[in-house]
Amino acid sequence: MIGTLLVVFPVGGLLQVATMLLGFVIHVEHFTTIGLLVLPLLSLALRQPPAVTWGCVGILLLTAIKRVEANRAPLPTGPERWRVVLRRLWLDRDVPSHEEWIARRPADVEGKGEG
């Protein structure tokens, strides 16, 4: 995505890289998402060709689909389902805590090798 943006829409690509780096430095996890949301608007504001604007929308939609799909991990049932969908879209993870997400273990590994 970044490579395509840097070639087709350099300002947008640099903005995305900057938001990702800034989010990493100041520990604000949703900066990447904000950058993606701003791309189509920035494209319109800078009077880019329609193909560039639609490309930015496409990047946003593909990212949203990938995040919700989450490597085909099933969504929980009940009221937690929509919270997980929103967390996947906004934070790119299923749980609110970054530390809990980093410490998770794949389900097929858990319990193996233990007593």
pLDDT, position 107: 64
Q: Rounded distance, CA 99 to CA 106, Å?
A: 15
20-70 per-position pLDDT tens digit: 999 889 888 788 889 999 999 999 999 999 999 999 999 999 988 888 887
Confidence of residue 113 (pLDDT cuts 50, 70, 90): very low
Q: What share of the chain is helix, strand, coil (3-state, %, to 5)?
A: 70, 0, 30
Maximal C-alpha separation, the chain: 63
pLDDT, position 45: 96
Written as one string, the DSSP assignment of 29-70 is TTHHHHHHHHHHHHHHHTT--HHHHHHHHHHHHHHHHHHHHG
Of 84, 59, 83, residue with least CA distance to 70: 84
